[in-house]
């Protein structure tokens, strides 16, 4: 296997008599979004601060591409540091500087860019984080959410290769929370940086994460993918996931993934004879939408789709949950596949009519937005897990609604 980008080997850290990290071994791979989860005060931020050198381990080694940080030459250390950016939990914005100056600070101090180039880079980030109206205000004049976005803009302005996010979405409303996560995911694809994120936003954070690391009482409780964590059925992992994930998805108002799983199992057990249920996977391309509408408006679309599905399919005894950033899976225990197909046709014509105006109003760009909503219908039977249902439904996917803002205009 490839050398991990960052590796912790037997790392321990204590503050006085309190051991926060106890012989930790973990690996972070290049190009991945790795999420660190764990209870409050367990040492997640401490772990992150070790990576950037704000804290040094009492014991053990931290390696970057196989080279221990403690044995790096000054030039290697400088080069390592120049590729990392850190977004603080409490934002750490300079309260005597405007938002513009805060974002421009690393460029002014560590690069030789002229003021026009700096302004261009800063304003790009300002637009992406929707801070245009407050760019010349001071941090204390901004809401907590805006301060968070300003800190995010500052962390990304230097185009780093590794970005450490210490609770980037705390204090945000569900739309903005997901907008920030979408932004992280999109930037990660665009610039291919490696992201290490501390977050409690379950399940939203899992939609963008490649790997999760569970920190538990100073040790690594689990490291792997979300699916592996769910499959593991480890009491410690389950306890944490249940405690952090609510019953509802904040963004769409649909069920949380955990609750959905539980409802799915119950629904199957109640179908006495056939032991099958009908499943519909709704899907759209969120990236196209984000490019056209921006992160916040595109999530309004996802939210609105969730509302629409909820309103129409709940009445039939169905239940739904977001399975990824732009996929919603609905289980209809009391409707067979033919009825479902008819119903989806009806559902989709209404969707086109009601939605077109809404989405096209959000799309202010001159380029006309073309968006397709897909749906795949399948039958799920006892013993099938959610992932295989999603795969089956994806194979049956077809366009159920097309929205072209050119025609609307």
Partner 1 sequence: MKSLIDKLGNRAIVLINNLGSTAIFFGRGFIMIFRPKQLAPVIHQIYHIGTRSTNIVIMVGFFTGMVLGLQLYYELIKFGSEGVLGAAVALSLIRELGPVLTAIMITARAGSSMTAEIGIQRISEQIDALYTMRIDPIRFLISPRIAASIISFPILTVFFDLVGIVGGYFTGVVLLGVNSGVYIHRVHASVEMVDINGGFIKALVFAIIVSTICCYQGYFTHMRKDSYGAKSVSLSTTSAVVTSCIMILIADYVVTAFLM
The one among 4, 101, 106, 379 contacting partner 1 by CB under 8 A: 106
Question: Is 113 a binder of partner 1 (CB under 8 A)?
Answer: no
Judged by DSSP in three states, 47 sits in helix
Q: Judged by CB under 8 A, does residue 232 bind partner 1?
A: no
> Is residue 328 close enough to count as binding partner 1 by CB under 8 A?
no
- Cβ proximity to partner 1, 88 vs 319, nearer residue: 88
The size of the interface with partner 1 (CB under 8 A), counted in residues, is 24
Is 114 a binder of partner 1 (CB under 8 A)? no
- Do 230 and 265 touch, CB atoms closer than 8 A? no
Q: If you search the block for the tokens 């391309």, which residue do you land on?
A: 285
The dihedrals phi and psi of 197, each to the nearest 5 degrees, come to -120, 130
Closest residue by Cα to residue 205 from 232, 239, 172: 172
Output the smallest distance, CB 78 to partner 1, in A. 8
Annotate each residue in 84-103 with x if it binds partner 1 (CB under 8 A) or - if it does not, as one string.
xxx-x-x-xxxxx-------
Helical axes 144-156 vs 99-110, angle rounded to 10°: 20
Cβ-proximal residues to 240 (8 Å cutoff; 6+ apart), any chain: 37, 38, 39, 214, 216, 221
Q: Residue 52, interface with partner 1 (CB under 8 A)?
A: yes
List, as own/partner pairs, every contact residues 18-25 make where C-beta atoms lie below 8 angstroms and the sequence separation is at least 24, other chains included.
Answer: 19/218, 20/46, 20/218, 21/46, 21/47, 21/50, 21/57, 21/218, 22/217, 22/218, 22/219, 23/59, 23/60, 23/219, 24/60, 24/218, 24/219, 24/220, 25/220
- Asked if 59 interacts with partner 1 (CB under 8 A), we say no
Asked if 82 is part of the footprint of partner 1 (rule: CB under 8 A), the reply reads yes
Shortest Cβ distance from residue 57 to partner 1 (Å)?
A: 17
Return the number of the residue (143 or 365) whose C-beta is nearest partner 1. Answer: 143
Q: Whole-number minimum distance, CB 64 to partner 1, in Å?
A: 15
Enclosing H/E stretch for 22: strand 18-28
Query: Is residue 110 involved in binding partner 1 (CB under 8 A)?
Result: yes
Q: Quick one: 146 or 343, whose CB is closer to partner 1?
A: 146
State the nearest-atom distance from the C-beta of 258 to partner 1, in Å.
Answer: 34
180 half-sphere exposure, CB direction, 13 A CA radius: 30
- Shortest spacing between CB 156 and partner 1, in angstroms: 12
Mapped onto helix, strand or coil, the DSSP state of residue 194 is strand
**Closest distance to partner 1 from the beta carbon of 139 (Å):** 10
Task: Say how many residues make up the chain.
Answer: 409
Stretch near partner 1 under the rule CB under 8 A, chosen from 49-57, 63-71, 196-204, 361-369: 49-57
Name the minimum Å distance from CB 54 to partner 1. 6
Q: What is the DSSP letter of 255?
A: B
Torsion of CA 161, 167, 173, 175, to 10 degrees: 30
Residue 87 beta carbon to partner 1: minimum distance, rounded to whole angstroms: 9
Cβ closest to partner 1, residue 109 vs residue 132: 109
Contact code string over 137-176 relative to partner 1, x by CB under 8 A = -----------------x---x------------------
Strand duo 370-381 + 276-283: pairing:
antiparallel
Binding partner 1 (rule: CB under 8 A), the pick from 10, 25, 54, 173 is 54
CB closer to partner 1, 115 vs 248: 115
Nearest to 138 by CA among 168, 93, 169: 93
Residues that bind partner 1 (CB under 8 A): 49, 52-54, 78, 81-82, 84-86, 88, 90, 92-96, 105-106, 108-110, 154, 158
């Amino acid at each position: 296997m490839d050398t991990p980008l960052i590796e912790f080997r037997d790392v321990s850290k204590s503050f006085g008599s309190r051991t926060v990290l106890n012989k930790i071994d973990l690996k972070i791979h290049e190009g991945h979004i790795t999420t660190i989860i764990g209870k409050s005060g367990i040492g997640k931020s401490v772990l992150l601060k070790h990576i950037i050198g704000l804290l040094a381990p009492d014991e053990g080694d931290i390696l970057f591409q196989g080279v221990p940080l403690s044995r790096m030459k000054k030039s290697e250390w400088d080069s390592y540091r120049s590729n990392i950016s850190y977004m603080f939990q409490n934002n750490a914005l300079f309260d005597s500087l405007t938002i513009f100056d805060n974002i421009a600070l690393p460029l002014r101090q560590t690069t030789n860019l002229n003021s026009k180039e700096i302004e261009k880079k800063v304003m790009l980030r300002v637009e992406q984080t929707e801070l245009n109206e407050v760019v010349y205000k001071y941090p204390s004049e901004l809401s907590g959410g805006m301060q968070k976005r300003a800190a995010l803009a500052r962390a990304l302005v230097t185009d780093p290769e590794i970005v450490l996010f210490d609770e980037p979405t705390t204090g945000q409303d569900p739309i903005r929370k997901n907008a920030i996560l979408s932004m992280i995911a999109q930037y990660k694809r665009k610039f291919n940086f490696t992201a290490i994120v501390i977050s409690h936003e379950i399940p939203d954070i899992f939609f963008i994460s490649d790997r999760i690391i569970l920190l538990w009482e100073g040790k690594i409780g689990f490291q792997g993918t979300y699916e592996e964590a769910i499959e593991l059925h480890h009491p410690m992992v389950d306890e944490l996931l249940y405690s952090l994930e609510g019953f509802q998805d904040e963004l769409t108002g649909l069920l949380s993934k955990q609750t959905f799983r539980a409802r799915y199992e119950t629904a199957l057990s109640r179908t006495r004879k056939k032991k099958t249920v009908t499943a519909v996977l709704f899907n759209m391309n969120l990236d196209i939408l984000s490019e056209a509408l921006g992160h916040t408006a595109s999530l309004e679309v996802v939210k609105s789709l969730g509302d629409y599905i909820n309103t129409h399919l709940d009445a039939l005894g169905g239940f739904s949950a977001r399975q990824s950033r732009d996929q919603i899976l609905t289980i209809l225990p009391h409707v067979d596949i033919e009825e479902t197909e008819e119903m989806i046709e009806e559902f989709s014509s209404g969707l086109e009519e009601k939605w077109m105006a809404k989405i096209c109003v959000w799309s202010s760009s001159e380029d006309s937005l073309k968006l397709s909503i897909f749906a795949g219908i399948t039958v799920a039977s006892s013993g099938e897990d959610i992932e295989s249902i999603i795969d089956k439904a994806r194979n049956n996917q077809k366009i159920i609604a097309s929205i072209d803002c050119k025609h609307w205009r």
